[in-house]
Each structure stands twice: as C-alpha cells, then as structure tokens.
Amino acid sequence: MADAQQSTIYIDEEVGQDSASAKGTEQEPYKSLQYAYLQHTKTASYLVRKPSEPIPEAESAESSSEWKPAAKAALKKAANFAEQHEKKAKKEKELAVQREKEEEERQRVLEDAKKLTIEEDKSLPEAVLIKLDEKDPKVVKLRSGDSKDSDERGTRVKVFGRVHRMRKQKDVLFVTLRDGYGFMQCVITGQLAKTYNAITLARETSMEIYGEMWEVPAGAHAPDNRELHVDYYIIHQGWKAPGGEEAITNRVQAKGDPQTLLDLRHLTLRGEVASSVMFVRDAVEFAFHQVYRETRCRKVSPPALVQTQVEGGATLFKFDYYGETAFLTQSSQLYLETCLPSMGDVYCIEKSFRAEKSLTRRHLSEYTHVEAELDFITFDDLLYHLEHVMCRVLEIVMADPIIAGYIKNLNPDFKMPERPFKRMKYAEAIDWLREHDIKNDEDQPHTFGDDIAEAAERRMTDVINKPIFLTHFPVEIKAFYMQKDKDDQRVTESVDCLMPGVGEIVGGSMRMDDYDELMAAYKREEIDPAPYYWYTDQRK
C-alpha cells in the first residue's frame, strides 16, 4: 500500500529543467535524478528517460514505454548526495545562527564601548613631544622592565603618527605608528583598549598618543627595541581611517594592477616600497647638493618657461605666453652657461619636460634634471668630474644605514661602481656591436652614424658589466651646440655614462666656444638664431 501512495516523478536528461518552474511531471520533467531527489527524497518513485532513447513518432506522448525506473545505484548516489546536502545546509544554518549571535555580541560590545570615555591623568608628568625616531637619552629616558614596580620612571612623551600595523593579543592592543621619521610600537591596555575607537581602529588612522617609554622585554621585538606604554590617546575629528571596503588594504595592494596603483598614487605612496623609493630619492638629491658644494659649484634656478629648444623641436611642449609662442624647458644647460662668467661653476636640480609619449624608463614627460656647467675644463676634466660626482653621491647615500637598508631591500644586487669607469668611443661601440651580432632597430648590423638604441646599449653594458663612458658621438645625432673633436671633425666631444642593469644615466659634452661655428650649427639644424641672441652673445 505504501508504494501505491508514492507519487511518480519524471526525469528527462535531455529536455528536463532543474529549476523551481519544473514540476517533475511527464509534461514538465526534471533534468537530473539528484535534483529531483532533493525535492522529493523517498516519498516518490522516479522514472528516467535518457537522451539515447528518443520518443518514437508512432507512440503517444502519454505512453510510458520510454520511461524507465531509476537504477538502484543511481538512487543510492542521489540519496547520498541528498544526505550530504542536508548536512551542509544544517551546518550553514548553525553557522548563520552563530554569526548572528556573534554580530549581536559585537554590536553589544560596540554599544558598551561607545559609553566609555577616557581622560588624561593630569597628575602625570607633562609629556615631551618627540618624533618616532628620537633616541637621545638626554631627551628620552627609557624605563627598564626591572624597574616597572619601582618609583623609577622613564620620560613621559607625546607622539603623533599614523597606524602602520596593529594586532590584538587577549586584552592588549599593539599599534605600530609611523611618522615618516621612524616607527614606534605602542602598547594599549585596560579601558584604553576597550573604547569604541580602539575596537574599530583601522590602518592609516592618525593618532596623538601619550605614554612612557619602556625597554622591550627580553625575547620580544619592536622598532628600536623600545615601546610606548600608553596612558592616554586622542583620535581627533576627521583623523579616523575607514575600514571595510574603503580600508586602505582593499584600495591598494602591493601586487595590485599597476594602472590602479598609478591612479591611486596618493595612497600607494603610503606603502613601504613606494615610500622607500621616495626616501632614497630625497637622500640622493641631498647628496648631490652636498657634492656640488664640496666641488664648489653654486646652485642657480633657471627658468622653466622658455622660447628656445635644446634637445630638438619635436619634443617641445608648446603653449601661449601672453600672445607669444613659448615652451616648457627641455634642459637648463644653456641658461646655466650664462652664469659661468660671474659665478664660476654652477648647477641646478630642476624639472625638465619632453613631449615624448613613451613608456620607457628613459623618456619621461616630466622629470627631475640634475645639470651642471663647468668653466675652464678639458674633455678629460669633464669625464673625471662626472665619475667623481656619481661615486661621491653614492658614498654619501650608502653611508646612511637607514637609506642603505632601503636600497638593499629595493635592489638586493646593488654594488657600488668601481673606478675608473671604462672609456669607449662611439666608433669602438659600433665595432663591438657588430662583432657580437647585436642588430640595430631595423634588424641590420650597426653602422657609423646610427643612434644606438637603448636595448643594444643595455646589452653591451650588461655584457661588459662595468660602468662605461661612451664618448665621441657623431655630429648628426647630437645637439647643435656640442664641440667637435679637433682631431676628428665627424664627432663631438660628448659622453653618455652607461651603467650595468640601468642603461644611460648621465649625458654631457663640451660646448662650442667659436661664434662662427655656432652660427653654422644653427644653419645646419635649421634653427632660427634670433631667439638665441642671449646664448650667441656668450660667444662674443
């Protein structure tokens, strides 16, 4: 009798539908036995029609001759699937209940936390404001772990910083702050760790923190082996960073899409890699200033808005200057020359602009340009000067252990260049490229007069594996103002410095000092000399 009461469910593996719209009837069958079993389990009997058994045209759609009872093995498999599905659904329901309880508890904790207020203990010593890297014992006295139960105290300090990282251990909140000068671990305990701000603290939140400096316990680690035991903190209005989807860890990621990181550069700069690059850049620029002072070069600031070209008209950014045509400067070197007669050797560190829509590391629309002009020198003097400046800058930069650490992290294979640099004339480089079967951009052997492409230069430099002063380039591929070699009028007294793994990093040349030769150069390059009157005057 029980079997007679069971409903019959139909499964057509070819035209059936595993959806809520299917009813499991002969006219609206399911597609799979597993799905059908989930809907009806043991309360039904199952008839199955497979794709290899089409309905004969001669038979009525009402006929059941093509429907066959489901195989026992298939029913067992469907039953096992339904059992696993039921267990999974039960567990998910339990987890949902648990999450709901946890969320209710979290909301309760948050509501309780909102009621907590903290106040600064005015009986404590007045705090000394310090940067996070300050360690001078005259300014900051540490409290040792051995004296924590005694009356001996360390210096009470006040620090400002942004949350770099954080972790919670039981009822203790460890927060590492950064301020651009250093890092400091802050230990927040007691009621201070139970406030709404503490519970919802997110990375990049700005904080004002008060506390006492302690030595780090034996076996523990913290920046500079010290930590700030917090007695009070403030998160001012507007200082709190968002969490959730707006959290900085979701907005920018270390290995995220490069275009996204560029679009969010203002946030990417807060990361360790990007900020390390900026710290190194600052140190390098400072070192250039120091080296130029050592070599008695004086700093000047030439104009960025000009009416003349230096490197070629095709790369000029043009704009209207009160009704006249003007450009963003490609280089300050011609302007620097005007200062030589009165100031002696001069230099500048300014922006230059090149209208080259390129994604190579070598051509940028806007970049910081270090340039110098030296008076009364020979070409050999120029090469020595370049070698000295580059090596001395690196010596100064690497003498700072913090900056040296950044460089080693960014480029673990970095090695200081060894002097003297290799001297190699352009003609010799052409021969070397031909001997090593390194082709030009047209996939032809290099010939004298080629403007050697970056890829070929880099291959040559990496094979030779030492800094190269590549000198004496043909007149046709260099700027109009470069001095010709008196022994070979085909080439100029010019130089590019090539560094292994980097490529060209420095360019330089001697300048024409003859008026007639300069006028001929204007003509050769089809440059109107009128806007250059101030430069031509130097040759008079």
Dihedral of CA 332/507/358/445: which sign?
positive
Residue 3 has pLDDT above 70, yes or no: no
Query: Average of pLDDT values for 388-411?
Result: 97
pLDDT at 362: 63
C-alpha separations of 341 from 126, 293, 303 in Å: 58, 18, 18
pLDDT at 259: 86
The secondary structure of residue 375, as a DSSP letter, is S
Contact by Cβ (8 Å): 143, 215: yes
- 128-234: CATH architecture: Beta Barrel (2.40)
Instruction: Parse the chain into domains and list their residue ranges.
Output: 7-50+69-112, 128-234, 417-509
CA gap 458, 503 in Å, rounded: 5
Return the SS3 of 33: helix
Amino acid at position 540, single letter:
K
pLDDT at 2: 41
- Of the two residues 482 and 357, the one the predictor is more confident about is 482
Q: What pTM was computed for the model?
A: 0.78
CA gap 249, 243 in Å, rounded: 9
Query: Average of pLDDT values for 197-210?
Result: 96
Among 174, 179, 180, 189, residue whose Cα is nearest residue 222: 174
pLDDT at 54: 53
Among 337, 279, 467, 461, residue whose Cα is nearest residue 390: 467
pLDDT at 62: 46
**What would the DSSP string read from start to end of 299-358?**
E----SEES--SS-GGG-EEEEETTEEEEE-S-SHHHHHTTHHHHSSEEEEEEEE-----
Contact by Cβ (8 Å): 309, 433: no
CA gap 454, 475 in Å, rounded: 19
**Do the two domains 7-50+69-112 and 128-234 of this chain adopt the same fold?**
no
Strand partners, 366: 353
Q: Which residues contact 308 (CB under 8 A, 6 or more apart)?
A: 327, 334, 531, 532, 535
pLDDT at 403: 97
Among 334, 337, 343, residue whose Cα is nearest residue 307: 334
pLDDT at 70: 87
Query: Average of pLDDT values for 12-40?
Result: 88
Instruction: At 310, list the tokens.
Output: 């230096």
Residue 126 has pLDDT above 50, yes or no: yes
Residue 164 has pLDDT above 60, yes or no: yes
Contact by Cβ (8 Å): 332, 302: yes
Least confident piece of the model among 99-108, 227-236, 388-397: 99-108
Among 215, 175, 178, 212, residue whose Cα is nearest residue 195: 175
Query: Average of pLDDT values for 178-196?
Result: 95
Q: Does domain 7-50+69-112 have CATH number 3.40.50.1970?
A: no
Summarised one tens digit per residue, pLDDT across range 319-377 is: 999 999 999 999 999 999 999 999 999 999 999 999 988 776 666 789 999 999 999 99
What's the CA dihedral at 97, 101, 106, 111 to 10 degrees?
A: 130
Among 372, 371, 370, 369, residue whose Cα is nearest residue 344: 372
Strand partners, 156: 212
pLDDT at 153: 77
Return the SS3 of 505: strand
Among 499, 515, 277, residue whose Cα is nearest residue 268: 277
Contact by Cβ (8 Å): 267, 252: yes
Q: Where are the beta strands (DSSP E) in 121-190?
A: 128-129, 156-169, 172-178, 183-188
The secondary structure of residue 502, as a DSSP letter, is T
pLDDT at 150: 61
Q: How confident is the model at residue 50 (pLDDT cuts 50, 70, 90)?
A: confident
Least confident piece of the model among 9-13, 142-146, 467-471, 487-491: 142-146
Before 420, cis peptide (omega within 30)? yes
Contact by Cβ (8 Å): 230, 192: yes
Residue 416 has pLDDT above 90, yes or no: yes
Summarised one tens digit per residue, pLDDT across range 499-526 is: 998 888 999 999 999 999 999 999 999 9
pLDDT at 1: 37
Query: Average of pLDDT values for 378-401?
Result: 97
Q: Which residues contact 442 (CB under 8 A, 6 or more apart)?
A: none
pLDDT at 5: 62
Cα–chain-centroid distance for residue 171?
35
Q: Half-sphere exposure (CA, 13 Å, Cβ side) for 431?
A: 6
Q: Half-sphere exposure (CA, 13 Å, Cβ side) for 102?
A: 6
Amino acid at position 8, single letter:
T
For the chain, percent of residues with pLDDT exceeding 90: 67
Summarised one tens digit per residue, pLDDT across range 247-294 is: 999 999 888 888 898 899 999 999 999 999 999 999 999 999 999 999
Return the SS3 of 7: strand
Q: In what order do the strands lie in the sheet with 324-328?
A: 305-306, 324-328, 317-321
Mean pLDDT of all residues belonging to the chain:
90
Residue 228 has pLDDT above 90, yes or no: yes
